[in-house]
Amino acid sequence: MMEITNDEINKFVEAVKEQSSYDFSDYSEKSFRRRIEKLLNDNNCDVEKLISKLSKDSAFLNKIVKDITVNTTEMFRDPKMWHQLRYQLLPSFQNKEKIRIWHAGCSTGEELYSMLILLNEMGLFERTEVVGTDLNEDVLKVAKNGQYRYKFNMVYIENFDQVMKENPNNGEKYDLDYEKYFIIDKNRDLLKMNQFLLDKPTFQTHDLVSGKHELGEPFDLIICRNVLIYFNNNLQNKVFELFFKSLVPGGHLVIGVHESILGPLSNKFSKMAQVYQKK
Partner 1 sequence: MRNAIAIGGSAGSFKVVVELLTKIPKSYNIPIFLCLHRLKHVRNGFSEALSLRSNLKVVEPQDKDEILPGKIYLAPANYHLLVGLDGKFHLSVEEAVNHSRPSIDYLFSSAALHYGKYLTGVLLSGANRDGAIGMQHINMEGGQTIVQSPEESQVNTMPKSCLELFKPDLILESEQIINYLVGLKG
Q: Residues in the site for partner 1, rule: CB under 8 A?
A: 1, 6, 28-31, 34-35, 71-73, 77-80, 155-156, 158-159, 226, 228-230, 233, 256-260, 262
Number of Cβ atoms within 10 Å of the Cβ of 70: 15
DSSP string, 125-156: STTEEEEEEES-HHHHHHHHHTEEEHHHHHHH
Q: Nearest approach, Cβ of 158 to partner 1 (angstroms)?
A: 5
Element (H, E) at 165: none
Q: Is there a contact between 211 and 265 (Cβ–Cβ < 8 Å)? A: no
Q: Degrees (nearest 5) of the Cα angle 263, 105, 42? A: 110
In the complex, the smallest distance separating the C-beta of residue 259 from partner 1, rounded to whole angstroms, is: 5
* Residue 64 or 99 with smaller CB distance to partner 1: 64
Question: Please, which residues have CB within 8 angstroms of residue 218's CB and are 6 or more apart in sequence?
Answer: 100, 246, 247, 248, 251
> Which is nearer to partner 1, 76 or 203 (by Cβ)?
76
How near is the Cβ of 128 to partner 1 at its closest, in Å? 26
Q: How far is the CB of 118 from partner 1 (least distance, A)?
A: 18
- Amino acid at the residue 148: Y
Q: Tell the smallest beta-carbon distance from residue 197 to partner 1 (Å).
A: 23
Do 70 and 136 form a contact (C-beta atoms < 8 A)?
yes
To partner 1, the closest distance from the beta carbon of 220 in angstroms equals 26
- Looking at the Cβ atoms of 86 and 200, the one nearer to partner 1 is 86
> How far apart are the C-alpha atoms of 117 and 113, rounded to whole Å?
6
Residues of the chain by 3-state class (helix, strand, coil), percent to 5: 50, 20, 30
Instruction: Pick the closer one to partner 1 by CB: 27 or 219.
Output: 27
Q: Give me the least distance between CB of 52 and partner 1, in Å please.
A: 27
Gyration radius of the chain over CA positions: 20
Closest distance of CB 156 from partner 1, Å = 7
Nearer to partner 1, 134 or 220 (CB): 134
Nearer residue to partner 1 within complex by CB, 167 or 260: 260
Compute the distance between CA of residue 204 and CA of residue 209 in angstroms, rounded to an integer.
15
- Which is nearer to partner 1, 218 or 256 (by Cβ)? 256
**What does the angle CA 134 – CA 135 – CA 138 come to, to the nearest 5 degrees?**
80
Nearer to partner 1, 1 or 59 (CB): 1
Nearest to 194 by CA among 145, 260, 123: 145
